[in-house]
Structure 1
């Protein structure tokens, strides 16, 4: 290999980091490197524009192989993952029929969700009829108090069916922190009930029955470092409290399943799962397990709901595809890709089929399952892994020093921290620093979405969220929620405002500002009337009035605004709202003449559009 390397690169002399920096500094022409090219992440650390081999030489994350402790490169030597699809069960016979059909279409992991009053031996037998339990991952979600009963019935059914219990694998989603996080009342002492659940699963050694549902944090707008740091603290609380009750760390750790969300932050999500396995292994190791295998994290990835949108919903396919790729490359155990229409209706056969095929394409055509940890050795991903580990570990330690996850969740501090991040992200969406394509940038102007909304996706927990709460709960609003509410209000008003682009003067500037302004007002569902250009301001105003414009946007160059803006404002004479596109140097002078409305890249798009809705009488 060294000879080949020498042959390939002997003609290219090495370039040092100092030489790269000298070239970059020269090209920046005096602009500070740190200001222009260093990226400050939401996770709290900085990212450089380029990395070199020297940046990863001392990193601990590169020392192990796939399947080796601390499992940063994966818990196994291959990269095969289970393709999962969940079924909301109302009719158990119908759910069984659907499950059998899914197994013939490439699904290798089934998730069933039903209410605890439906847990009977007859229903479970009907649900699992014809399913070979040793060959498919079986996952169940029900109410907390139903988990023990479900496991007992499930064990009895599998025995009666002649299944080899040692080969049956899956999970029961017993989540002790759903109460404070979603319902608003304290978890308090949950350890005795958790031990009952573990005892009920005693004959199902490969069933993970203690859930760390970090996707609840992800779907509520948490930053990646928060989802990771809090998930580790969540898992550690399960270990700490149950080992204090006399259970061994091996008994507990092998029963924990981590359910993470996965967002569109492509490389950071790859790093997240690598970091999660690494840090979790370190935590478990502190309890002195009998086997390193107890430190292997079982990670399930679910594509995020926070960035899904109702308008231009097919863009959700792009989001979920990159999210599934991140999770697959990172080596998770299983993946659920949510259908693109999940946030506004009960998904149909078409959207579910596409969601399945998104994973199957990654396996069967892209062969992502053939290479373990393909991101290993990437200078960028390795540095992200190490940097994310630092900030997540710091947060984990802060939670532990404050009393642990239960204590902070019962005080509402976890929820408040995540909700604060969600508010910051909502503001970033409002100002377009975080882009949701089709919603706050490049919307489909003619789309009408009100009729397709069949369900409210903001809180699907069925937990009585309107009840009085002892502690704050997570806010389940998506990133696009406020923009969607704004646009739906426009739809329901029955009187769509018309926005007229008064384009004049400098050709390049008027076209650029017209496009910007069209996208700006299109986010509220207004009808945009664009134009090639007018010879005079008066001609443009006359055309706008004739078109019945509610808003006239002047699009020209900064220099020309000095004359065009006052002339247009005077010609309109209050017959429509007048807006200047841009932030010209003459802005203050124009304001003294009564021109007060400007839109530009620094505008808060959401708040500006809310103001226009109010002015135009749209509630």
Structure 2
């Protein structure tokens, strides 16, 4: 059968003709005021995009990008964590991320009998140890294992308010690790910015500025850098965010002759998750995982629907893992050529987000860099301003979380179901900087409801 162009019999319609028809249908209403809206990032979103007036970066269709399904495991007891990792890999997980409490864990015992071929293992370390990083590297080299070490002292500073020790010693250790290890050893944990309320341009700019700090302070990074990203609910913007992130990172890396692409791990945001009507969290995480996959994430670690108030449990893990399995094996997200490529809207968003983030990044660098602006409080103040704007939209009902600030079920009872404290925790102590505080939009409303149960 001949491969005919099905649309060749139709005349092309210009953007001017579309606008004229839209204006006619509006019956006198103003086009810009009625149909054009502005995002928190200052991007004006139009009702349609057309190639005769929009600068499209590329309309090439790239092949489907494989993504890995990651299971998070917090290591309390090594034998139980090992057994759980083996079980989850047998039940559909493709990668495992271990979060360790301390450096006394036996790597050999934790990894015993785990499959090493075609499986990535991430070691998330809330401490900085040259010796322990060397042990992981030795195990990886000896067993030909695919291991990523997640060290990020800048996130430690931003989240805790203090370095592990201090700036000089932390970077001295990182440089030692860089010189002794062959496995990827460095992570940029940018999820903290999103979960604290930063808008997308801020998230991209701060992530880029964090990468620049590492490039400047660790001259010999000869391994890929991992970037951990939190994905929000603005579907198309989040797709564009990940695409812009990869473009920006590779542009910056080339300036340092760093020839490795970044390795992106995406996780749904906590910011829009709720205690009440908690099953809706499954819908939120599903669309957020879809954005992550279409945006080009290398790995996706889903967030369990009950993660904010329940301890790790088999049911929550299974559901979150199955969401990704459905997207991969039933929706074929890893088989279909990237549908985001050439989409005028997404391509335009990607370009605008990248341009605005680059402009903000240059301003950060002009004013001393990310660490300097964390110490003087500029970053925290800017994030707080963005978070407050979003909070006001939620409080006024303009930003909707179904089941919480719209159509709530007044009969929901949650007080006796809380295994974890789901709100911002106060921990008065002396810190070098004001920490960046992650906070969910629904916290105040939920606290009021819990008090009235």
Question: Structure 2 length normalisation: TM-score?
Answer: 0.94
Q: Which residue of 1 aligns with 2:26?
A: 28
* 8 A Cα contact 1:109 1:137, kept in partner: yes
Once residues 94 and 53 of structure 2 are traced to their aligned partners in structure 1, the CA distance between those partners, rounded to angstroms, is 40
Q: Which residue of 2 aligns with 1:199?
A: 179
Per the alignment, do residues 373 and 170 of structure 1 end up closer, same or farther by CA in structure 2, a change over 3 Å counting? farther
Moved over 6 A (4+): none
- 1:451-462 matches, within 5 Å, as 451-458=416-423
Once residues 354 and 365 of structure 2 are traced to their aligned partners in structure 1, the CA distance between those partners, rounded to angstroms, is 16
Q: Which moved more, 1:316-325 or 1:369-378?
A: 369-378
1:258 is paired with a residue of what secondary structure?
strand
* 8 A Cα contact 2:155 2:188, kept in partner: no
2:167 is paired with a residue of what secondary structure?
coil
For this pair of structures, how many residues does the alignment match? 450
Question: Is residue 2:116 matched to residue 1:116?
Answer: no
- Of structures 1 and 2, the one with the larger relative CO (CA 8 A, separation 6+) is 2
* 8 A Cα contact 1:416 1:472, kept in partner: no
* 8 A Cα contact 1:141 1:174, kept in partner: yes
Larger Rg, first or second structure (1 or 2):
1
Per the alignment, do residues 155 and 210 of structure 1 end up closer, same or farther by CA in structure 2, a change over 3 Å counting? closer
Q: Which moved more, 1:269-278 or 1:25-34?
A: 25-34
- CA offset at residue 324 of structure 1? 0.5
Q: 2:135 aligns with which of 137, 148, 153?
A: 153
Once residues 54 and 2 of structure 1 are traced to their aligned partners in structure 2, the CA distance between those partners, rounded to angstroms, is 30
* 8 A Cα contact 1:180 1:410, kept in partner: no
Once residues 117 and 380 of structure 1 are traced to their aligned partners in structure 2, the CA distance between those partners, rounded to angstroms, is 47
Q: Tell me, which stretches of 5 or more residues in structure 1 are unaligned?
A: 67-76, 492-619
Once residues 207 and 336 of structure 2 are traced to their aligned partners in structure 1, the CA distance between those partners, rounded to angstroms, is 27
- 1:15-414 matches, within 5 Å, as 15-56=13-54, 58-59=55-56, 61-62=57-58, 66=62, 78-119=64-105, 123-146=106-129, 148-158=130-140, 163-164=143-144, 168-185=145-162, 188-189=167-168, 190-202=170-182, 207-243=183-219, 247=220, 251-252=221-222, 254-289=223-258, 293-294=259-260, 296-414=261-379
RMSD of Structure 2 on Structure 1 (CA): 2.1
- 1:516-595 matches, within 5 Å, as none
* 8 A Cα contact 2:96 2:120, kept in partner: yes
- CA offset at residue 27 of structure 1? 2.1
Once residues 210 and 155 of structure 1 are traced to their aligned partners in structure 2, the CA distance between those partners, rounded to angstroms, is 13
| Deviation sequence 1:448-497 (CA, Å, 0-9, x none) | 1111111123458xxx9421233211122201101101111111xxxxxx
Per the alignment, do residues 156 and 379 of structure 1 end up closer, same or farther by CA in structure 2, a change over 3 Å counting? closer
* 8 A Cα contact 2:61 2:337, kept in partner: no
| Deviation sequence 1:118-163 (CA, Å, 0-9, x none) | 33xxx222110001333311111223323x222222234445xx52
